Amino acid sequence: MHPRIKINIVIFCLAVTTVPIPACSSRKPVGKDLETRKGEVEMSIEKKPFGALPDGTAVEIYTLENSNGLEAKIMTYGATLVSMKTPDRNGVLDDIVLGRDTIADYIEASPYFGAIVGRCANRIAHGRFLLDGEAYTLAANDGEHHLHGGVKGFDKVVWHAEALRHDGAVRFTYLSRDGEEGYPGNLSVTVTYALTEENELKIFYKAETDKATPVNLTHHSYFNLAGQGSGDILGHELFLNAEFFTPVDAGLIPTGEIEAVTGTPWDFTIPHSIGREITRVEGGYDHNFILNKAADELSHAAAVYDPGSGRAMDIYTTEPGIQFYSGNFLDGSITGKRGKVYRKHFGFCLETQHFPDSPNHPDFPSVILRPGNKLSSLTIHKFSVR
């Protein structure tokens, strides 16, 4: 597809200060399956009501907490990460993901805050694709294009949830019926969130289908390591383990070209602030980066550091790409958690994924899942401090 050039992966190695969070290292996490902790004390997992949909469907929220004080809250609506609390360099906990206070707020307005998106994440040009000689038409819910699964994608359905206390995890399952949002096949999806004692939030994805269908699942949290609603993220330092990216047209659809990041504003192979080159990118960053990795290999994809708080986050994934989005469409119209107003660039997304519009680009890694095959993917967010 394009020449691969090996480089040394640059990883932020973060020294622990007053906060009991282990430093990161260049050691890659291994294994795609959930590691059980049989014989250990069960992690406390709290389940509470989180309101209901207008049709009366109950929504629940689960709280995971490890012994270091990290806390993740995930609700069944959209299998959504509602809150992620981590300490700064002084040990002060804060919520580092954008979101809303109530389920009614999420229904009213949420640009995919913290949700699992699918059946096909990102954009599909004109909501159309051809599969095995048959044409399919999807909802055009992003101008003339299809975005993140359609009008009622996986972010807007209630998932079944099960607490896995030996694993410090919650497993979410959903059956997407044949024809839902125009997609073919009955698709069975499992997403498991696990919070580890190594301060990792692991997200496991699995899926099976009874008919060939495009599947591209991702997690869509908007992060602000200084704390949600605290200001913009332009001063955050970003590293992306990617020497190539997929340029887009005015509708943010990939042109099909593969370009090197060298000498462009898309070059984050050496960490620098998000804001340093952003004015050279029309509209801001909303691009897919091609990760330097072998297919299905779990490897280091990105690192982000906030100099003010000392918080850092490393991302590992088995996915071939990562969408970096700099919160360009946040415009102050949404009041988030604790009354915080979310303005432009108040959060960033790093969505591990296959490439946008892949069903229409045969040269991109395929997103077509066929009967008898199983989708299996893992993304890890590892939190630490300087």
**CA distances (Å), 156 to each of 76, 109, 306, in order?**
10, 11, 31
| CA-CA-CA-CA dihedral for 106, 109, 115, 118, to nearest 10 | 130
Q: Does 351 qualify as catalytic in the annotation?
A: yes
Average pLDDT of the segment spanning 238-259:
97
Q: Which two tokens stand for residue 80?
A: 């959504």
pLDDT attached to residue 43: 74
- Of 351, 354, 361, 381, the catalytic one is 351
103 pLDDT higher than 70: yes
- Of 145, 148, 219, 220, the catalytic one is 220
101, 107, 110, 100: which is closest to 54 by C-alpha?
107
Please state, in angstroms and rounded to a whole number, the distance separating the CA atoms of residues 141 and 235. Answer: 32
* Whether the bond into 37 is cis, omega within 30 of 0: no
Please state, in angstroms and rounded to a whole number, the distance separating the CA atoms of residues 39 and 383. Answer: 26
Please state, in angstroms and rounded to a whole number, the distance separating the CA atoms of residues 350 and 281. Answer: 17
pLDDT band with cut points at 50, 70 and 90 for residue 34 = low
200, 158, 199: which is closest to 298 by C-alpha?
200
pLDDT attached to residue 22: 31
Domains of the chain (ranges, CATH numbers): 45-385 (2.70.98.10)
Please state, in angstroms and rounded to a whole number, the distance separating the CA atoms of residues 377 and 374. Answer: 10
Please state, in angstroms and rounded to a whole number, the distance separating the CA atoms of residues 171 and 194. Answer: 9
pLDDT in tens, 298-341: 999 999 999 999 999 999 999 999 999 999 999 999 999 999 99
Q: Does 297 qualify as catalytic in the annotation?
A: no
pLDDT in tens, 140-199: 999 999 999 999 999 999 999 999 998 999 999 999 999 999 999 999 999 999 999 999
25 pLDDT higher than 90: no
